[in-house]
Chains A and B, each alone.
Chain A
Amino acid sequence: GQNIDQPTEMTATEGAIVQINCTYQTSGFNGLFWYQQHAGEAPTFLSYNVLDGLEEKGRFSSFLSRSKGYSYLLLKELQMKDSASYLCAVRFVSSNSGYALNFGKGTSLLVTP
């Protein structure tokens, strides 16, 4: 299987830092993506990791450990507009696989004043 697990809901305060975790089965791993999705809107690309380590992009950072099958998305200086669903997606390589993404169920983040 390719179970991708992330917490269902998180709440954090404006201005704070929040970390959203994602775990996945490591067999056939070929890249991990984070997307942000506001209700009724398209998922928006945030970050991509394929090698171990931290990728930083402004207020958002993403970390990957391939051996542990683990990633996290770190959001700093939270703003109210960051309230959204955050989707962890993994690309696996298989004999008939193109580049389909396998998504977790998403983490609904609520930022409070």
Chain B
Amino acid sequence: DTGVSQDPRHKITKRGQNVTFRCDPISEHNRLYWYRQTLGQGPEFLTYFQNEAQLEKSRLLSDRFSAERPKGSFSTLEIQRTEQGDSAMYLCASSLDRGRVKNIQYFGAGTRLSVL
């Protein structure tokens, strides 16, 4: 059973460019989450999917951010017209929803974005 994988691990881009990150959740996990983490802070929730449906978006997710999970498996997070303030670690997590079960979220190692 492989864990959550994210690609790329590191991304350096110039301000104004678009970037896209990919997350592959644990197989059969129906929930997928995106978080952002900056230095010295805990992860901050961005959005989550149940299967292919995007059910919640944080106010942190500006119009420049879009996320998809087209087939209910992998997900992509795109940031358009990047700004220096977008520099952060972008974490993906997945969980299995079984009603009353704990719904533990398992995290990937993240994609570290640096906007120059």
Contacts and interface: CB of A to CB of B under 8 A. Distances in A.
Interface of A: 4, 31, 33, 35, 40-45, 48, 50, 87, 89, 91, 96-106
B43 interface: yes
A105 B42 contact: yes
A43 B103 contact: no
B95 interface: yes
Which of B44, B50, B58, B105 counts the most A-chain CB atoms under 10 A from its CB? Answer: B105
Interface in B7-51: 31, 33, 35, 40-45, 48, 50
A97 B56 contact: yes
A18 B106 CA distance: 25
B74 interface: no
Nearest to A96: B56
Interface residues of B, number: 28
Contact of B48 (A40, A50, A99, A105): A99
A43 B33 CA distance: 13
B42 A89 contact: yes
A32 to B, nearest CB: 11
A98 to B, nearest CB: 5
A106 B50 contact: no
B55 A105 contact: no
Given A99-B95, A99-B103, A106 B42 contact: yes
7 A-B pairs with the lowest CB-CB distances in the bound complex, closest first? A103-B42, A100-B45, A42-B107, A42-B109, A43-B107, A98-B56, A103-B43
